[in-house]
Amino acid sequence: MNNVSGTPTRALSDLISTVREHGLQGLLSIHGLERLEILRWSDVMVEAYGKIFRKHKALVMDDRLLPCSKTDLRVALKVEFQNFALKQNVEAMEDLARAYLNISRFQPITPGDKIMLEELNLHAVPMMDIDAAAAHKGTVSEQEQRFMDCFRTFHAYLGMIESEKENLRQDIDAFAHALLGPDMAKNPPPS
């Protein structure tokens, strides 16, 4: 665990890997100064993640905005979740579980898709009634076509988000169940 000089014997990256690879058991195996090290790191990552949400309000965001990889952010949120479970702070645990699910909103976005998503987010493509008769004949204005392309792109990303969100929900539910036992972890966090 800790050497004679009072410093962690494992590097932070090794501690993160331990939690990533072994889940709750890996987290519970970290003690002393190593525990403080990973808690300091998780505090910084979760705070930075929270700032991103306060600054960016889009449903779909570029994963490059995150303070670290999604995988490492999942570890940071689990470290914080376990820390608040020890304090029996249910409200903080629920907030962290929601934050865990919201990782899904961050996707690898291509430059072209980013422009389309920004147009929808900023309402640069005005909402309009598409002329059904003209659309049926195949005559759609350039502006209408751009809107439809932007919307299709947005819809594709929403599908990726929902799929990932379900996987994240199963993961955080299993973590909470292992940490808290079946009685405390029955209610999944709200989306």
Amino acid at 4: V
Q: What span, in angstroms and rounded, lies between the C-alpha atoms of 99 and 86?
A: 19
79-115 pLDDT tens trace: 999 999 999 999 999 999 999 999 999 999 999 999 8
d(CA 179, CA 90): 13
Q: What's this model's pTM, rounded to 2 decimal places?
A: 0.82
Number of domains in the chain: 1
State which H helix or E strand residue 61 sits in. Answer: strand 61-62
> How distant, in Å, are the alpha carbons of 64, 83, 112, 121, 165 from that of 108?
7, 30, 12, 17, 15
Tokens read off for 6:
């009072």
Q: Residue 69: which domain range?
A: 12-108+161-180
**Assigned domain for 62 exists:** yes
Instruction: Tell me which DSSP letter residue 106 carries.
Output: E
Each residue's pLDDT tens digit, 142-184: 877 888 888 899 999 999 999 999 999 999 999 999 999 875 5
The verdict on residue 153 lying in a domain is no
Supply φ then ψ for residue 190, to 5 degrees. -65, 150
Look at residue 129 and tell me if it is in a domain.
no
